[in-house]
């Protein structure tokens, strides 16, 4: 092995080590952006609660096995009750809103709404943490709203959008923002992130199964049909692995990178999701969609100009 190869490998490892938080968030964003198209495909066969039960149960089993292999202390006394609240907000309520919303609207609209998340966090922080809202946040929010309205109206014109579905997904994004504001300091403590993830998925699985078999017993689940591995079934399985990986990398990033910086990556879900919708579902991608995504990107970046990163 030559000296040049060893040198390149050395500097590459240094780069990975010094930017591991941002790299983890980028991987998580790929998962967040890729999810909605697979949800849309899976809902062709699954009912909402069926899909959530399958998705969270598989993700919980994967995370539990991983946590046990890593010898994580999963005692409630050690981890506390905060992960139960986090699990209720995100992934349960967030996923529920996305599944219901995507029954009505386009996955492109869904990922566009995900990409607006950084702009709403200061407003949620104002409500819960009494943090001051800067004028540039208001300007960025105004620009972001314009870009979002252009995209949603474009989707509606081409037959893929629905304002009610968009609003339901928006409510889910509010749950994401509340969860992130309330849990950002918690994830930076000595608590083990694998334990937090395990309890989050456990709450999602338990609530989904309870609703499925007690509150909403009209299930579409039949073993014979789902053993055929049709595209919707494969989409549901893929979603389980996306859920497992995305939140794992996301919570890892929260511990190792400033909130303000990693939030800037959310707008990337727009182009990622639009591309995945085209690949998975054959969704129409027009120039107006990418123009609106650029406007949303500008709107979310403005509040971060000259902003000092918070630990």
The set of long-range contacts for 9-13, using a CB threshold of 8 Å and a minimum separation of 24, is: none
Phi-psi region of 97 (alpha: psi -120 to 50; beta: other; left: phi over 0): alpha
Q: The tokens of 224 are what?
A: 């014979």
E strand or H helix at 297: helix 287-301
Quick: pLDDT tens for 79-113: 888 888 888 998 899 999 999 999 888 888 888 88
Question: 63: closest CA among 299, 190, 221, 248?
Answer: 248
Question: 134: closest CA among 116, 143, 145, 122?
Answer: 122
User: Which stretch, 25-39, 146-160, 173-187, has highest mean pLDDT?
Assistant: 25-39
pLDDT for position 218? 60
Residue 102 neighbours by CB distance under 10 Å: 25
Position 310 pLDDT exceeds 60? no
Asked if residue 51 belongs to a domain, the reply is yes
Residue 309 banded pLDDT, cuts 50, 70, 90: very low
pLDDT for position 250? 81
Residue 306 neighbours by CB distance under 10 Å: 5
Instruction: For the full predicted model, state whether its pTM sits above 0.85.
Output: no
DSSP string, 248-284: HHHHHHHHHS-HHHHHTTGGGHHHHHHHHHHHHH---
Across the range 185-195, mean pLDDT stands at: 72
Asked if residue 283 belongs to a domain, the reply is yes
Structural domain including 272 reads 23-302
Report the distance separating Cα 261 and Cα 259, nearest Å: 6
Asked if residue 2 belongs to a domain, the reply is no
pLDDT for position 187? 63
Across the range 261-267, mean pLDDT stands at: 72
Position 223 pLDDT exceeds 60? no
- CA distances 180 to 13, 247, 249, 305, Å, are 30, 12, 14, 21
| Least confident stretch, 85-89, 196-200, 290-294 | 290-294
Position 200 pLDDT exceeds 60? yes
Quick: pLDDT tens for 46-75: 888 888 888 899 889 988 998 898 888 888
Position 146 pLDDT exceeds 80? yes
Count of domains forming the chain: 1
pLDDT for position 311? 43
Residue 46 has what DSSP assignment? Answer: S
Position 221 pLDDT exceeds 80? no
Asked if residue 286 belongs to a domain, the reply is yes
Report the distance separating Cα 83 and Cα 131, nearest Å: 24
Q: Which residues contact residue 192 at a Cβ distance below 8 angstroms, ignoring those fewer than 6 apart? A: 72, 73, 78, 79
Asked if residue 53 belongs to a domain, the reply is yes
Q: Which residues contact residue 210 at a Cβ distance below 8 angstroms, ignoring those fewer than 6 apart? A: none
Asked if residue 37 belongs to a domain, the reply is yes
Asked if residue 308 belongs to a domain, the reply is no
| Least confident stretch, 6-10, 27-31, 206-210, 291-295 | 6-10
Report the distance separating Cα 41 and Cα 307, nearest Å: 40
| Least confident stretch, 172-181, 184-193, 204-213 | 184-193
Asked if residue 10 belongs to a domain, the reply is no
Quick: pLDDT tens for 114-132: 878 877 877 887 777 677 7
Question: 198: closest CA among 91, 48, 97?
Answer: 91
pLDDT for position 77? 80
- Phi/psi at 184 (nearest 5 deg)? -65, -40
In this prediction, what percent of the chain has a pLDDT beyond 90? Answer: 10
* Average model confidence (pLDDT) across the chain: 81
């Amino acid at each position: 092995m030559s000296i040049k190869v060893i040198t390149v490998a050395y500097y590459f490892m240094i780069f990975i080590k010094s930017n591991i938080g941002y790299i983890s968030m980028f991987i998580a964003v790929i998962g967040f952006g890729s999810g909605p198209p697979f949800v849309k495909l899976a809902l062709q066969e699954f009912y909402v609660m069926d899909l959530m039960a399958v998705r969270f149960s598989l993700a919980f089993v994967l995370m539990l096995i991983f946590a046990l292999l890593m010898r994580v202390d999963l005692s409630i006394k050690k981890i506390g009750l905060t992960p139960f609240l986090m699990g209720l907000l995100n992934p349960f309520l967030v996923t529920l809103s996305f599944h219901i919303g995507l029954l009505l609207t386009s996955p492109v609209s869904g990922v566009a709404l995900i990409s607006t998340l950084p702009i709403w966090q200061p407003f949620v922080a104002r409500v819960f943490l009494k943090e001051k809202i800067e004028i540039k946040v208001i300007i960025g929010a105004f620009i972001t709203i314009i870009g979002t309205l252009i995209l949603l109206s474009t989707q509606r014109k081409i037959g893929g959008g629905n304002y009610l579905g968009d609003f339901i997904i928006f409510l889910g994004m509010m749950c994401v923002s509340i969860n992130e504001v309330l849990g950002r300091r918690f994830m930076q403590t000595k608590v083990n992130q694998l334990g937090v993830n395990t309890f989050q998925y456990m709450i999602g699985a338990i609530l989904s199964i309870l609703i499925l078999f007690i509150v909403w017993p009209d299930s579409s689940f039949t073993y014979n049909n789902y053993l055929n591995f049709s595209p919707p079934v494969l989409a549901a399985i893929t979603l389980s692995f996306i859920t497992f990986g995305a939140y794992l990398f996301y919570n890892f990033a929260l511990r190792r990178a400033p909130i303000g910086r990693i939030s800037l990556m959310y707008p990337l879900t727009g182009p990622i999701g639009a591309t995945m919708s085209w690949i998975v579902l054959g969704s129409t991608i027009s120039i107006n969609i990418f123009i609106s995504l650029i406007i949303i990107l500008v709107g979310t970046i403005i509040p971060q100009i000259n902003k000092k990163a918070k630990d």
